[in-house]
């Protein structure tokens, strides 16, 4: 494949294609990698993210399961402990609630509880994000639940490039890793080199450099932050957008250094604002950048309501470019 | 009749029967020591004793290879010992010592040991059903010929995940056997208050090969388990073995006054008429596999071994403080 090694490769693919490529490459590389989930085989998931994998890898490695999230996640924990590297597909992030015992009490603890003797190298892929008019049980962003549990790693990619590199790393990791995909992002296009690459966990990425204010943003909120930053530029405010990319491990240093440089920070995450990711990151920045801050760190997340169906109501529940722009402008005293 | 020589079948299996007898004694003496440690306030926390149920763990584990997998429960000491764990490292774990199987981080309810295929005891009722099924999934995918045994109490029949994984196991034809120990009580509640319908029917509904056995008869457990293990190993799919048994002690070592949920008479009947060790000893003597004296000597040896194991555990150090944050991530 000589054309793949061209360094000036400017290939653009969608977020969904990036995920599929990561899976296919890792499945070619390691025969113990397999996929378990509802409608993952012939259907390739309702979002078609896995289309084509069954054809290449067959039914032994791309397995349709019954609608038994706890059952097949538990099966994956045991399979991971005994020589496989399973990837479970949880169709909607809302359904992680069904897997909680398997992830929280089993997968996350088996290494520690056994004194380091067993490990569970598995990946759970699932979704987050509202504004698809899917109502309260198909729209939540519950990633903070897993961030709360020692033993798990949590990844929230925001670009096709990050998605591919981080998913490949997740599959090779020896721990249970949860990988949240924003379902609104599957069609987002971006540059993804054709050559094999991985990205390290625990390294934030500055998506846009700026001087006046730091917008820390995860997953779906990265595009929102970039949009707000463009609006802020028009009124002369230079915003820096920093994406932690992985919530655990967390690159605290990059977040704190950015806030120290700009002296202001807003933390954006689509999970619930109360007791959520924004609270954790804001407190880290508040402590780490205390002497350099010109304003209290602000948090913006989902409103504390079940996600409503009605479009005008649903749109109120999550931060938008406009609301972030307003908050940033106010914080900068304009 | 007692004057007749042992039959050829008995002679052929004499070694096996004696090993099983020894293993049952080991569990009983181990648990007696645990009770003693608790009573003397030498053990942190609680423990759930397996006394009375020894024939189940031993009868099943004797049909397994060392590389086969088991998962265990909060009442797990018997399963771990029967699968080959060393008592000294188990006691060390029970006392929270660094030399323990889990470096003191697991305790009584989490003993795990890759060397004997023990995927771990589990303190979530039915918490290991997924894990055991997953180990069978690996065994099939990796074609390593192993089988996986999932020990559960009858209380686990109340957990939905059991039915999810039995369905998966049959769909994927996995080499897993669910061994349900019905000791009549989940904590302080009789199983008839919590369990509707027929237990075996719950497994056969999914197409599992299911059988029920007197869990106080180690030979019967062994023979039934052997059939299910052999089937699973040759790819014929999962099995379910219901073992009817009884725990002599309380739900845990601190459950002393039990009359409000079961009578002393009931306990007494099981202990005197259906004790798996006494009845097996009687059979071994009748069949001339061993003499009373030989069994008594064996018993004394095993008891001494357990006392020594406790001494080892008492003397060995606790983990150092810097170990608290080790092993969170692999
Ligand atoms: C999910 C869950 N619910 C409740 C408990 C508390 N609990 C511990 S043991 C037990 C009874 C279990 O009964 P059974 O499965 O029959 O096992 P036995 O103790 O009789 O061996 C209960 C309710 C638990 N550990 N896990």
- Give me the architecture of the B8-313 domain, per CATH: 3-Layer(aba) Sandwich (3.40)
Q: Are A73 and B130 in contact (CB under 8 A)?
A: yes
Instruction: Judge if A59 and A181 occupy the same domain.
Output: yes
Task: Using the mean position of ligand 1's atoms as its centre, give its distance from the Cα of residue B121 in Å.
Answer: 13
Domain parsing of chain B, residue ranges:
8-313
Q: Is A259 helix (H, G, I), strand (E, B) or coil?
A: helix
Instruction: Judge if A251 and A285 occupy the same domain.
Output: yes
Helix (H) or strand (E) holding A126: strand A123-128
pTM across the whole model: 0.96
Contacts of B103 (CB under 8 A, 6+ apart): A115, A116, B319, B323, B327
ipTM exceeds 0.85? yes
Q: Which CATH number does the domain housing residue A141 bear?
A: 3.40.50.970
- The CA distance from A217 to A232, in Å, is 16
Interchain contact, B119 vs A79, CB within 8 Å:
no
> Is there a domain that residue A157 lies in?
yes
Q: Are A285 and A255 in contact (CB under 8 A)?
A: yes
Per-residue pLDDT of chain B (330 residues; tens, 9 = 90+): 445 677 888 888 999 999 999 999 999 999 999 999 999 999 999 999 999 999 999 999 999 999 999 999 999 999 999 999 999 999 999 999 999 999 999 999 999 999 999 999 999 999 999 999 999 999 999 999 999 999 999 999 999 999 999 999 999 999 999 999 999 999 999 999 999 999 999 999 999 999 999 999 999 999 999 999 999 999 999 999 999 999 999 999 999 999 999 999 999 999 999 999 999 999 999 999 999 999 999 999 999 999 999 999 999 999 999 999 999 999
Query: Which of A35, A114, A170, A201 has the highest number of chain B CBs within 10 A, making it the mutation to test binding with B?
Result: A114
DSSP B1-63: -TTSPPPHHHHHHHHHHHHHHHHHHHHHHHHHHHHHHHHTT-SSS-----TT-HHHHHHHHTT
Residue A154 contacts B, CB cutoff 8 Å: no
Helix (H) or strand (E) holding A207: strand A205-208
Residue A333 vs residues A236, A282, A294, B141: alpha-carbon distances, Å: 12, 20, 11, 62
- Number of domains comprising chain A: 2
Among A163, A191, A219, where does a domain finish? A191
> Is there a domain that residue A323 lies in?
yes
> Is there a domain that residue A7 lies in?
no
Vertex B106 angle, CA B108 and B303, to 5°: 35
Interface of A with B in 206-245 (CB under 8 A): none
> Is there a domain that residue A200 lies in?
no
Instruction: Judge if A169 and A272 occupy the same domain.
Output: no
Instruction: Judge if A148 and A44 occupy the same domain.
Output: yes
Instruction: Judge if A98 and A169 occupy the same domain.
Output: yes
> Is there a domain that residue A291 lies in?
yes
Which residue is listed with tokens 């005891």? B121
> Is there a domain that residue A198 lies in?
no
Residue A280 vs residues A147, A214, A317: alpha-carbon distances, Å: 10, 16, 20
Q: Are B156 and B129 in contact (CB under 8 A)?
A: yes
For residue A284, the enclosing domain spans 205-331
> Is there a domain that residue A164 lies in?
yes
Q: Which CATH number does the domain housing residue A310 bear?
A: 3.40.50.920
Tokens at A187, concatenated: 């069609």
- Which of B101, B119, B172 has its CB closest to that of A115? B101
Task: Using the mean position of ligand 1's atoms as its centre, give its distance from the Cα of residue B76 in Å.
Answer: 12
Look at ligand 1, atom 19, and give the residue with the nearest C-alpha.
B186
Interchain contact, B137 vs A78, CB within 8 Å:
yes
Instruction: Judge if A302 and A254 occupy the same domain.
Output: yes
Residues contacting ligand 1 via CB (< 6 Å): B 48, 74-75, 123-125, 153-156, 183, 185-187, 251
């Amino acid at each position: 494949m000589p054309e793949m090694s061209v360094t000036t490769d400017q290939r653009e693919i969608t977020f969904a294609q990036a995920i599929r490529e990561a899976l296919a490459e890792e499945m070619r590389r390691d025969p113990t990698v397999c996929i378990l989930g509802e409608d993952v085989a012939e259907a390739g998931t309702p979002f078609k993210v896995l289309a084509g994998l069954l054809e290449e890898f067959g039914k032994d490695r791309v397995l349709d399961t019954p609608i038994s999230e706890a059952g097949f996640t538990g099966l994956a924990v045991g399979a991971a402990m005994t020589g496989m590297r399973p990837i479970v597909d949880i169709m909607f992030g809302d359904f992680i609630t069904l897997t909680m015992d398997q992830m929280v009490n089993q997968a996350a603890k088996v290494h520690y509880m056994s004194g380091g003797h067993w490990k569970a190298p598995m990946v759970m892929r699932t979704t987050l994000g509202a504004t698809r008019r899917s109502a309260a049980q198909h729209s939540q962003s519950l990633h903070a639940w897993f961030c709360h549990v020692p033993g798990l790693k949590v990844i929230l990619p925001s670009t096709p490039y990050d998605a591919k590199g981080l998913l490949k790393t997740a599959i090779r990791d020896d721990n249970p890793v949860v990988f949240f995909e924003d379902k609104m992002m599957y069609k987002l296009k971006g540059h993804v080199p054709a050559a094999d690459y991985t990205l390290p966990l625990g390294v934030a990425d500055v998506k846009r450099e700026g001087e006046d204010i730091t917008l820390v943003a995860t997953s779906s909120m990265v595009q929102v932050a970039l949009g707000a930053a463009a609006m802020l530029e028009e009124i002369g405010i230079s915003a820096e957008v920093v994406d932690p990319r992985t919530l655990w491990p967390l690159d605290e240093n990059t977040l704190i250094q950015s806030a120290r440089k700009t002296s202001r920070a807003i933390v954006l995450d689509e999970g619930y604002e109360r007791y959520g990711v924004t609270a954790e990151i804001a407190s880290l920045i508040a402590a780490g950048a205390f002497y350099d801050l010109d304003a209290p760190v602000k948090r913006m997340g989902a409103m504390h309501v079940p996600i409503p169906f009605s479009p005008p109501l649903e749109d109120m529940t999550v931060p938008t470019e406009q609301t972030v722009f307003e908050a940033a402008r106010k914080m900068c005293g304009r | 009749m007692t004057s007749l020589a042992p039959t050829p079948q008995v002679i052929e299996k004499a070694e096996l029967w004696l090993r099983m007898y020894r293993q049952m004694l080991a569990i009983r003496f181990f648990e007696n020591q645990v009770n003693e440690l608790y009573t003397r306030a030498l053990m942190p926390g609680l423990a759930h004793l397996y006394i009375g149920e020894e024939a189940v763990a031993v009868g099943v584990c004797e049909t397994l290879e060392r590389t086969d997998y088991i998962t265990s429960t909060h009442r797990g000491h018997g399963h771990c010992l029967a699968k080959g764990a060393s008592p000294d490292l188990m006691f060390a774990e029970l006392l929270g010592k660094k030399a323990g199987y889990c470096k003191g981080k697991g305790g009584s309810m989490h003993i795990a040991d890759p060397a004997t295929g023990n995927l771990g005891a589990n303190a979530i009722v039915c918490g290991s059903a997924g894990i055991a099924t997953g180990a069978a999934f690996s065994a099939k995918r990796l074609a390593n010929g192993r089988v996986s045994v999932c020990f559960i109490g009858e209380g686990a029949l109340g957990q939905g995940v059991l039915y999810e994984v039995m369905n998966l196991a049959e769909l994927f034809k996995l080499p897993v056997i669910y061994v349900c120990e019905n000791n009549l009580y989940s904590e302080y509640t009789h199983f008839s208050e919590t369990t509707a319908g027929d237990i075996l029917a719950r497994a056969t509904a999914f197409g599992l090969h299911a059988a029920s056995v007197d869990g106080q008869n180690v030979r019967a457990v062994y023979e039934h388990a052997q059939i299910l293990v052999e089937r699973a190993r040759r790819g014929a799919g999962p099995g379910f073995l219901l073992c009817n048994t009884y725990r002599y002690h309380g739900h845990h070592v601190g459950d002393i006054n039990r009359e409000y949920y079961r009578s002393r008479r009931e306990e007494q009947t099981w202990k005197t008429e259906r004790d798996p060790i006494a009845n097996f000893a009687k059979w071994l003597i009748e069949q001339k596999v061993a003499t009373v004296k030989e069994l008594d000597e064996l018993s004394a040896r095993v008891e001494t071994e357990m006392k020594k194991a406790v001494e080892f555990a008492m003397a060995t150090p606790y983990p150092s403080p810097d170990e608290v944050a080790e092993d969170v991530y692999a």
